Chain A
Amino acid sequence: MTNHRGRARRLGDDINTDYIIASARKKETLDENVLKQYLLEAVDPAFAATVRAGDVLVAGANFGCGSAMEVAATVVLAAGIPIVLARSFARSFYRNAINNGLLPIECDTSDIVEGDTIALSIDASGTTIVNERTGRRETRAPLGGIAGDILAAGGLVPYLRREGRFS
C-alpha cells in the first residue's frame, strides 16, 4: 500500500503537451532537470517556480492532448510531481506517463481547486482519492493488465529489463 498526500495544482481542460513543455524548448535539451523550469509556461510562466515536491497536478478532460512527446511526462516527474489526476487523458500521454512511472488517475476532479490537499491511498484493490477540504472520496479500480504490470514495475524500462518482452 502506498499513500500520498499532496497539494493540488489546478489546471483546466485540454492541456496539450506543448503547454506542459513547449516543443521549442526541447530542441535545446532533453534533460528534464533543465526543462522543468519551463513546466506549463504557456499556461502560467510563473508556475514552475511555485512547484513543490509532492504536488499533484489536477486537470479536467483530455490532459496531455496534442504531440506524443515524452518529455511532457518526464518533465512533470522531474519537477517532483508523482501523480496527475484528470477527468480524462489523451492516450499517448497516458501511455508515456505509465512508461515512466508517473501515475495517471482518471477520476472526477470537478470539486478540486488550487491548493486543496489531496490524500491518495493506492493498493491492489484500487486507488482512493480524498479531497480533504470537501471530504469527497472516490475509489477507482486498479489499473490492470500489461499497463498495471508496467506501472508496478516502475515503468517500461524496468518492465522490459525483467520480462524481456511484453507478456
Chain B
Amino acid sequence: MGEILVSMEHICKSFPGVKALDDVHFELRAGEVMALLGENGAGKSTLMKVLSGVYTRDSGRMEIFGKEQGDLTPRQAQELGVAIIHQELNMCRHLSVAENIFLGREKTKFATLSNREMEGEARRILQELKMDLNPQQVVGELPVSKQQMVEIAKALSTNARVLIMDEPTSSLTSREINDLFRIIRELKAKGCGIVYISHRLEELQYIVDRVTIMRDGQFVTSANFRDIGMNEIIANMVGREIKEKFPRVTCQRGKRVFEVKHLNAGRMVRDISFELHEGEIVGFAGLMGAGRTETTRAIFGADPKESGEIMLDGKPVRIRKVADAIRAGIVLAPEDRKKDGLCTKLSLRQNIALPNLDMLCDRMGVVRRNRETTMCTRAVEELMIKTPSIDKDAATLSGGNQQKVVVAKWLARNSRVVMFDEPTRGIDVAAKVEIYHLMNKLKQQGIAVMFVSSEMPEIMGISDRIIVMCDGRITGELSAEEATQEKILTLATQFEKKVAAANE
C-alpha cells in the first residue's frame, strides 16, 4: 500500500443552520481509488470542497503529502497537486482542447502565444493518458465524455497527484465509462490517488480499492472494498435515525383519478407509468438526478414529451403546453421556488393571481381588483400564510410562506392533481410540518397528491405509497408499511448495468 497522500482528521464545517461536516476522518493513499459514498446531503461534496480549497474548514487537521496545511484557496490546492473535476463541466466551449488545458497558464514567447508548444504539450499529455483527442479540436464539438477527458487532462497537466471525481460517469455511455476506467487504472499505476464519488454502486467493483462511507455529515466507516459487501455498504449509508414525527392522516383510498402510461421525454424520463388515486399521497423517492423533476415537468407540459398517455378520470388528456395542464386541473409546485415557482419581485397578490387571470378578468380583459382581493385574502387565510398584507413582495416572505404562496396559486382553482417537487427544501421544521398538513388536507379533499422528495424520512412518513426512480426509470414501488430506508436506497441505486458487458 502506498504512502499517505491526504489525511484529514476531525474536520468540522458548519453552514448557517446545518452542521455539514462533523468530526470527519478521511485518508487517501498513493495508487488507490477511494470511493466516497453516502446519500445526497451526507457531506461528501463538502468534504472534497474543503480538500480542494473551495471551502475552508472550521476546525480539524489536514495534511497533504505529509505536510500540514492551513486554509487553502482553490489556486493553492491546485498548485499543491490536488485537482477536482466538478460534476458540471467547466469548459470554454468555443476554445480548442489545447487552449482549454492551458487556460490561465498559457505559454508565451515574446508576448506571443506559443500555440505549437502548447499543442505539442497537450498532445503529449493526451497520448500519455491514451486519450484519442486532437488538441486543435473545439471543445464544444466534443461529446460530453471527451469533454470530461479534457478536464482530466487539464487537471493532470498541473501535475496533480490527488484527483477528485464527482459523479464522473453520470452522463457517459458504457464505452466511454470503459475509457474512463482505463484512464483511472493508468493514473493509479502512476501513483496518483483518486477520490471517486458515485451513486452507481454497481460500478465500484471495477475500479475501487477502498470505500469511505459518510452519513449526515459524519464519518461512518472506512474499509477495503474486498472486505465489505454491497448490503453492508447500503446499510451503512442509510442507518439514519428518524427523529421527526410526521402527521400521517389515514383516509379511504378512493377511485383512480390520474394515470400516466408509458411516458417518455428525453433521457431522464423513460417509460414512466403510474397511477394516483383519490385520498392518497404518492411519494416519489430517488437520488438527485433520478428523473423525478423531469417527470413532473413533462406531465405538466413544461417540457416536450416523446410518447405516452395521460388519463384524468379515465379519459385521455392532451397536454402540449402548460396551459393545457392547468385547464385540466393538473398542477405543479416546482422544485426551485425562486426560479420556477414565484415572481419574487412581484407582490403576493400578483403571484397568486397570475395563473388565475382567466377567472379574475372581465370580458374586456381587465383584472377585477375586488375578485382578486377576495381570492388572495381567502388563500392567505386558508393556508395561514404569514404576511402583513397581500401586497407585500413575495421575496420578503420566509421560505415556508413562499412555498405556501406557490401552492396558493393552484388552490384557487379546482385542481384535481397536485405535484409537489421538493416542497420542503430549505424551509424550517415548523414550516415543513405545515406543508405536510397542507398535503394531508388536499388528500382528504380527494385531490391526488404526488410528492417528490429526496428526504427519505419525510417521504416514508407522509406517503401512502412510494414509487422509486433511478436514472429516468421507475425501479420499484413500495407500500408505506413495507418501505424501509434500505429497500428504498437499493431501488434508488438500481442503475442499468452499463459496464458489465464490455469490462474484462
Partners in one complex: no
